[in-house]
Amino acid sequence: MGANSKSEDEWRAILSPQQFRILRRKETEAPNTGDYNHHDASGVYSCAGCGTPLYKSSTKFNSGCGWPAFFDAIPGAVSRHEDHTLFMTRTEITCTACGGHLGHVFKGEGFDTPTDERHCVNSVSLNFKGE
């Protein structure tokens, strides 16, 4: 049984209430409240749901948006889906391994990064392991 096949009750048992709301219900933490927004240590950010490595600290940048921002994910770790909530079309990003909601990705905002993308990620969706 893979990580993505856990039942709602199994996810509730292993995640905190806030992690469950964000990772499984696709909610969003309030801006400027997450532990990793101004975090700048070297290491790897992993999915808080299943532990899969998602982002390297070398791709994190300060976007000023109120959430941790990354310009690229570890190859294959993050999936993209069209999101039509809130009366707009955005690109949702999820953990490829377990389907946990991470946040959204935005393109073409003019940040001086190699990809011109901003992966806007909820801190609650992440765990960090330093080098």
Per-residue pLDDT tens over the stretch 51-75: 999 999 999 999 999 999 999 999 9
> How far is Cα 78 from Cα 87, in angstroms, rounded to an integer?
24
Domain ranges of the chain: 31-130
Q: Is 120 a catalytic residue?
A: yes
pLDDT of residue 5: 78
The active-site residue out of 47, 50, 95, 120 is: 120
Is residue 4 predicted with pLDDT exceeding 90? no
Mean pLDDT of 6-33: 96
Contact between 123 and 29 (Cβ < 8 Å): yes
pLDDT of residue 31: 96
* pLDDT, greater one: 1 or 87: 87
Mean pLDDT of 97-105: 97
Other Cβ atoms closer than 10 A to 108: 8
Please state, rounded to an integer, the average pLDDT across all residues of the chain.
95
Contact between 7 and 24 (Cβ < 8 Å): no
Confidence category of residue 2, pLDDT binned at 50, 70, 90 = very low
**Which fold would CATH assign to domain 31-130?**
2.170.150
Confidence category of residue 3, pLDDT binned at 50, 70, 90 = low
